[in-house]
Amino acid sequence: MVVYSGTRQDMKQRTFFDFSASTDEIALTAHQLKRLKQIVWICLAAVICGLFPSGPKSSAILCATGLGLVCILILLYRAKVRFATGALLWLLTLMICSLISINLGIFDLMLLGYPLVLAYAAMYSGTRFYWVLFSFILLFCSTLALATLYGWVEFRQPLPTVNSFVTLNILLIVSGLSMRLIARDTKDALRQLKQENARVVSSQLEIQRLAQHDPLTGLVNRTQCELAYQRAVAAKPNAEIALLFIDLDNFKPINDALGHQAGDEVLKQLAVNLQQPLSGLDVLSRFGGDEFVVLLTQWQQRQELELLVQNLLQRCQQEVLVQQHKVQLSASIGVALSPQDGTDFHLLCKKADTAMYQAKKMGRNRFCWYQSEMEQQQLDKFNLMMRLRLAVKQQLFAVLYQPVYDIKTNTICGAEALLRWTDTELGVIAPDVFIPLAEEMGLIQELGLFVLQQACAQAVVWQGSGHALRIAVNISAMQCKQGDLPALVRQVLQETGLAAQSLELELTESVLIDDTALVKQQMQQLAALGVHFAIDDFGTGYSNLGYLSQFQLSSLKIDRSFVGRISHDGKDLALVKGIIQLASSLGLQTVAEGVEDQQSLALLQQAGCHYAQGYLWSRAVSAEDFTMLLVESKKG
């Protein structure tokens, strides 16, 4: 469609020859241009043939028309399509009008040429031009008929002649050839339209398929899964339906290590594996990511359902070959039942999801039935998360300090800073509850920085009072993974004025194992400042000589689970002695955690342990109470 972009005034000033004035005109293709040239050549041939039986006046009109057609051909070959088309239609119309006027009037066979001209106009001009031309022809014919009727002009009744025979045949030939060309174009257009309609239908079907199915696996999506559930409930209102929520365990490392394309291939193979044990009435759906939902409707007994769920779990454990890598998968599955756990699809999904997270909490690679108390646990966790976020924002935490004693002199030589949280609504929240939650919520960085700032500032206060001690601060795995620990520690030391040699950072064994290169790099930067490092809870994780020799460590802290039993368990005592000997061989000092009685202290002294902390001396206390402990320790 060619659209005229000029003003309304410009449009009014266009002539009848400028057929492009209409906004409905058709943009001609190269094929249509070729067809117009053919029509002009046919008309030119017809004009030449008509010269032979014609009289002088008719011959003059035909010669003028022939010259006009030649000019129109030149315009067409120069791609002046719009003007040439309008000129052709007006030229043919005026030629017919002229021949009729000088010959037989309303009895002239040339009147048959008008329908042909109008057919050309309908095919190759715009709407406005067509109606102007049609009105002109209608007005001319009506005027001629009235003039003949009232005797204003006289025309002889035509008699059959050779001239009329030639004229009739020329008109028929031109009409036949032209209509054949136009009909061929029309058929081609209809065929193309049919093909386009087929493509549209195909596209609509594809859009519908994409709207109903997961594009990666071809499984039905969440919307279709919900509809399938509603149909199953409607078909058998009282029948039990099991909804399984499947989530792969540790799927992210596959994407990180092999790329998302490999991860997609894993999901496609898993979808095929999960589909195999299902019946035709069961539904397998992918909700997104590595989450799948299964609707099981064809089971009678709970035992039968359990076997089917176990089968699906085993299929999740099948080894998958991706990019020449063998990938071992596992999954956690939560199961909710309709109607006993609810009949609303979204509610069942939520409950199955809750059961799935319970399965992950229990160690992953297992399935778990939904229990009503799980929902309360989820609500409690959500409430705790909201309270924790508020506490971090308002810094509603306290830093307590547990003294570390030199067991040879029985004097305080250091302190371990410990974070505590007492919520106004929930009461005292244990660190082993809110610390993992803070890591999960991404708040551990703020908490860690808060403890580091408070501990370093307090150590400066104690040192200013004449108490030389080292302050120990726990560092979590998430803090190390950020990669900016050296910069943060350097900033805090500068802000508080604490000497780097007075700061000891405590890391668990798992931190050193998880990302050795990154941790080692940060520890080297901090050690260059003078910061000390200790392994916290030594003996509970991956204790081995390999990683101990790779890092610049100062001491090992023996976990309380060993220290607390050395007075009555010979095996634990042997383990503690072994750790002390190991540390000594590596040039490391040892700190015993959880010392609660004199007998344990004596055994540690005999084993050669350097330092200790525990309830034998004091639990973690406030800075004010710790100051009093320092004074008492100094007095001896």
Residue with the two structure tokens 């070729």: 34
Contact 400, 350 (CB under 8 A): no
What is the model's pLDDT at position 580? 92
pLDDT beneath 70, residues of the chain: 1-29, 31-32, 155-181, 183, 206, 209-210, 514-515, 541-547, 636
* Whole-prediction pTM: 0.60
What is the model's pLDDT at position 635? 74
The architecture (CATH level 2) of 222-370 comes to 2-Layer Sandwich (3.30)
Bridging pattern class, strands 283-288 and 291-296: antiparallel
What is the model's pLDDT at position 21? 36
What is the model's pLDDT at position 201? 80
The CATH class, in words, for 396-635 is alpha beta
Structure tokens at 246: 């499947």
On the question of a cis peptide bond just before residue 253, with omega within 30 degrees of 0, the verdict is no
What is the model's pLDDT at position 175? 62
What is the model's pLDDT at position 153? 76
What is the model's pLDDT at position 27? 43
The residues spanned by each domain of the chain are 8-189, 222-370, 396-635
Residue 235's nearest CA partner among 327, 307, 192, 298 is: 298
Local structure of 255: helix, strand or coil: helix
Structure tokens at 206: 């594809």
What is the model's pLDDT at position 347? 93
Query: Cα angle vertex 409, ends 405, 413, to 5°?
Result: 35
Residue 223's nearest CA partner among 232, 215, 214, 233 is: 214
Structure tokens at 364: 């992953």
Local structure of 119: helix, strand or coil: helix
In the chain the first and final C-alpha atoms are separated, in Å, by: 102
